[in-house]
Copies of this chain bind each other. A is one copy, B any other.
Amino acid sequence: MIQDLPPNTVERLSLYRRRLLNFPYEDEPYIHSHKLAHLIKINPAHVRRDLMLIGFTGDVHRGYDIKRLITKIGESIDCEHVQKVAFIGIGDLGRTVADYFNLKTKLKIVAIFRTSEPPKEQFKDVNCYHISEMKKVLIEEGIELVVLAVPKLYAKEVSETIMETNVKGILNFTSVHLDVPDTIYVEDYDIIAKLEKLSFFTNSL
């Protein structure tokens, strides 16, 4: 991993890699900055600058070697060991991303927790538990990252339980402010704020 990458660059590197993994690079092994830029709708200069930051160089004529770039991005942003991930009460959203996980990434979904209904298998290799088993499973599996999207009512209690485990990062979809120590990295996503923003901009065109 490279220290001191700007947060947005890390996000984009993740995007570059996912796009490239879906790219027919067996047939077309090189890609130019403007084409890669187009795939994620940014400026070509941006691509070149990001790749410069991870010290990846291309060929003036052919562009960037896709296979090598995929590897390089891995070396730049993946951590050394496999990190386990749990989805907590996120339902369909889990299924949305499941096809990518457990395949080409250092992240691995190992558990899904539900607040309602008797748990049932959703995808192969991923166990589904009732939320009451969360603490035990988080600890036993050594889960480090969680996606948290439980109803507001549960948020505080669940986040306090999370603090008693080895979880180091929370992607927080609840609109509740999580009062966790500095050692846990929280990335908030406020869906309502985004919807109201969406509402604003769809009405000002």
Contacts and interface: CB of A to CB of B under 8 A. Distances in A.
Given A197-B11, A197-B14, A92 B90 contact: yes
B1 A200 contact: yes
A81 to B, nearest CB: 9
Interface string A163-188: 00000111101110100000111010
B202 A145 contact: yes
Contact of A169 (B94, B107, B201): B201
Interface stretch (A24-32, A44-52, A60-68, A146-154): A146-154
A77 B196 contact: yes
A32 B41 CA distance: 41
Q: Report copies per complex.
A: 2
A18 interface: yes
A95 interface: yes
B196 A10 contact: yes
Q: Is the interface of A mostly helix, strand, loop or mixed?
A: mixed
B191 A97 contact: yes
A151 B197 contact: no
Contacts of A1: 200, 203-204
Interface residues of A, number: 74
Contacts of A173: 93, 96
A92 B141 CA distance: 23
A166 to B, nearest CB: 11
A199 interface: yes
A40 B178 CA distance: 11
B145 A198 contact: yes
Contacts of A205: 183, 185
A198 to B, nearest CB: 4
B107 A144 contact: no
Given A3-B204, A95-B151, A150-B96, A197 B114 contact: no
